[in-house]
Every structure is written in C-alpha cells, then in structure tokens.
Amino acid sequence: MVVAKHPLAALAGVEILKKGGNAVDAAVATHFALAVVEPFMTGIGGGGRCVIRFKNGTTFVMNFEPMAPGKEEPFEPDPKKEATAYGVGLGRPAVKGDANKYGYKAAAVPGFVKGLCFLAKKFGSMELSELLEAAIKYADEGFILDTYIAKAIAFDMGLIIKFPETARLLLKDGICPRPWGWSFGDFDRLIQKDLARTLRKIATEGADAYYQGTIAHAIAFDMAEHGGYITEDDLAAYRPEILKAGKGSYRSHSLIHFPVSTGILQILNILEGFDMKKLGYNTSTSVHLLIEAIKLAFSSRKFLGTGLDNRPFQGIVTKEYAETLRRRIDLEHAKSHIDLEAPENANEEFTTHACAVDVDRNIVGMHTSLGHTFGSKVTIKNTGIILNNKMHDYDPRPGTPNSVRPRRIKPPPSGSTIVLKRNEPWLVLGAPGGYKQVTAVARSIQNIIDYRMSIQEAIMSPRIYVQTGKVFIESRIPQTIVQTLVKMGHDVTVVDKEYNFGQPTGIFLDAKTGLLHGGVDRDLPHGLDAISLGY
C-alpha cells in the first residue's frame, strides 16, 4: 500500500509495487511524483527526511533537508522587527527585507534529489529511470488542477508575480488557473515541460546531473545573476545525514521515529501515566490532560530546535522525566507553564508526507518540503525547479544555537513514526504542518491505542493544538466540553476544520488478517477519493 496526499502520487507508488519494487522504490517514485503534482508543498528544489524499517528489523533514518550555503553571516538582522510565524513572535529578530523568506537569498542547497537517489541506489530494487516515469509523465503531459492547488497559487499570487519564471510556470495569462469544478467553463492543466526535461536528465544521469552537471551550473548561474548564495561548490558538497533512529514506547507499543520528533514521545510519555481509556474520548478531563501534555512537551523545546548536536535527547524522552512533568499537571485547573515558548514555524511549515508498505513488510515514512508554499517563490530559469526558502529556519544573529553556519543542515520537526506491537510492524504515520505534525501524530497514535479507533477514524477525529498557551480546538468538539475547559482556565479559541491542525497520512498493518488499512486527512487535501491505494 501507498498513502499520499495526492492520488496521482499514490498511484505512481503502487504501480512500482505492482512491478515488483519494494517500499523504498515506491516511496521514491511517490515523492518524485509529489514534486510535480504538489509543487506548492514539495519539489526537487527542496529536501526531506525519512524513517525506514526493513523486514529484518533494522532501521534507517536520514535527513536530506536543504543545507545552508557556504556564505558567512548571509543576513542582516532587523533589530526593530521580530520574526513571526502567522502573528506569533519567535523570539528573534526578523531579517531586513525578509530576504530569508522570499527571493534568491532565501534558498538553501536542495537535498531532495541527492536524498532520494541515495535511497534508490542503496535500498531500491529498480532503476531510477523506472521510478521517475510517472513524475516525468505528469510534468510533461500535465495534470488536472484541483481547488487545493489553485487556492495555493491564488493565495501567493502577490509574490509569484514578482518572479517572472515562477509566474510563467504557475499562472495562466497572468492570473490564477481554473481548477476542476470551476463553474464558469473549462478547467486548466498544470504542464511543466522544463521540469520534465530536468527529471529526464536526473533519470538517466542520476544525482550527479543535479549536483555537478548542467543543472548545478544552471542553479549557480541564476543565483549569481540575482544575488543568491548557492554556488556550484555548495551543490557538489551536499551530503545527506545518516542518523540514529529515535526510539520509545507507549503502553507496550514500541515507537521508531526521526530523532527530532521527541515532542511526540514526550506527549505520549506524559499521557501514559493516566488511564486515558477510562477517562473517555473527548471528555473535559481527557482533553484537559492532552492540552497540558502538549504544553509541557513544547516547554522543553529549548532542547529540541537547535540541530542534532549538543542536545540531551536521552534525558527529555525518558519515562522519569515525563513523570516530573506530569507532576506539574493540575487535574482541575489549567497551568501556564513558565518555560512555554512559541514553536518556530508553528503555522508556516508546509510539507507533504507519504508512506509505503510492501509485501515483505518493509516500511517507509517520508516527508519532503519546500519550506513555505512555493518555497522562496524562485524558479531556476529553464529548469522548472522551484527553490526552497529554508534559510528562514535560522536565527540571523551570530553566536546563537540556531545561527546560520556555513553548510549546516538544520533538521525540522518530523512526525514520521513507525509503531511496533510485540516487535512486529503495526503502524506507520506522519503528517505535514510544522510543529503541528507533532500534535497531529501523537493524537492519532493515542486514538488508535487508547480508544481502539481505526486509522481513518483516528486521523479524522477532532483536533487540538496549543501555541504559547492559546488552545485551538476544532468546532466538532462539543460546546459543553469547551465551556468546561474555559472554566478550568484554558484560553480557548474554537476554529473549524479549515484551520490546519496537520494532515496525517498513515498505514495500519493488521496482524490477524494480514490486511493493510490506509488513512488520510480528507478535509484539506485534493478532494479526490483514491488517495490510499493498495493492491
């Protein structure tokens, strides 16, 4: 089975499985296809990260996020303006002119192609040219636009039109293209001929074409022409990071996760000390405990957001530390935890997630991203490559844990988690949404384990998110519960499902029947039914 956020991408992965490919082959094909059909979320100018469990029980975790160029101190802080994410202060100065958000300077060295080509070569069983067939077809022939993509283009049109190559790619006669279901006439297809040519070159020449060949030259030339920082030397120097998997447990289930996903494990560790099943699903007490657990997990964020070095992973994910946090919870009153900080990119990180399970039960969970929607809004001339804007992840001031360092890869939060039951594969789950993927994945896992929900029920259940003490609650939660939470002291804002709580995708492996069950958040994605596909 393959689960993705666009049906064409899921179909690309399943076709690879039908041809005899393994889960890694399918995941690579799916994400290359997503780079075409979800160009606002991901692309070959971005990067990603993955968690893999093989049938023999070994694990593999890789960070192939974009890398900072070799430029020393590339940005000038604006001391009069605080960096924000959707109105939430991040505790650091903004960059003058938002140069780390939009335009050529905002782009970091892409890792997408190097990461996926590495996976295909090391663990795949099929030729790269076969894995890219679907992506090339979707780019060359185009695909029908839906309202999800059209809305993303319309929302960013004010910035897109500032970059002629991107406007030429995404707009039709200078305006937003018409999606399927448009009531005033025909719909449009998104055709990306330049990207198709780039993908063909990668399919025949591998990652070297991108990082050392003609594509690298095109990227570096366009950067130099427009004041960007990426050079051919930077591209040639890119290497993905091989990491040690994070491990934990929840109520006798083992968890394997990307090591920066410690927030998921902390939330679950805290909740493990309560009988959540007995307290009931979406009762005032169980929701209160979930809110407090999320706040306490994010209060340890000062240990989490600084890269993979100098971080006390083992301490903050222990059951003992969870017990000390749990003691700070008052069962009847909300507490404002004094260490609570605003998670960076709490609302601004746009990603896509897909997972694959093959007949041998090899499992892959993978995120890829451009950063914000359409990344830096820059498209490299004649290549179709939309570049990321991952330089916005860094603190522009030197000497801080999050400062820009030449050729540093800073890992983002990642919700990709593989769950084992009695040491057998049981669940793979992940979600886009910045730090909201942490709460979305933790909540979905808890729903499945504590409340015996199906994966689709768990993913579609009403959501909760806490950000600097303000609690966002989905309107499907009963008003009586909301009123009780307010009386307990919670600062509650009720929102509808259009608020992005994270959009999980996952696969449940039923050991009794041998069946695979897919789950996907159907409210915000592309509105088409065939998103979870198996055979």
- With contact defined as beta carbons under 8 Å apart, do 473 and 290 qualify? no
> Buried b / exposed e across 56-86, counting CB within 10 Å, b at 16+?
eeebbbbbbbbbbbebeebbebbeeeebebe
> Buried b / exposed e across 147-163, counting CB within 10 Å, b at 16+?
bbbbebbbebbebbeeb
In terms of DSSP H, where are the helices of 226-261? 232-237
CA distance 17 to 299: 42
318 included as an active-site residue: no
- With contact defined as beta carbons under 8 Å apart, do 520 and 528 qualify? no
The three-point CA angle 475-481-484 to 5° equals 130
CA distance 247 to 510: 22
Point out which residues pair with 420 in neighbouring strands: 254, 425
φ and ψ of 136, to 5 deg: -65, -40
CA distance 490 to 330: 12
- With contact defined as beta carbons under 8 Å apart, do 358 and 53 qualify? no
Q: What secondary structure letter does DSSP report for 400?
A: S
CA distance 23 to 124: 8
How many CB atoms lie under 10 A from the CB of residue 204?
Answer: 12
Q: Round to the nearest angstrom and report the end-to-end CA distance of the chain.
A: 7
- SS3 string, 420-435, reads EECCEEEEEEECCCCC
Name all contacts of 53-56 with Cβ < 8 Å and 24+ positions apart.
53/256, 53/362, 53/363, 53/418, 53/425, 54/123, 54/362, 55/360, 55/361, 55/362
**Active-site hit among 351, 352, 439, 505:** 351
**464-467 vs 424-430, strand pairing mode:** unpaired
CA dist 221 → 150, 166, 227, 361, 492 (Å): 31, 17, 10, 44, 50
Cα 534 versus chain centre, distance: 23
**253-257 vs 417-421, strand pairing mode:** antiparallel
Residues known to be catalytic: 351
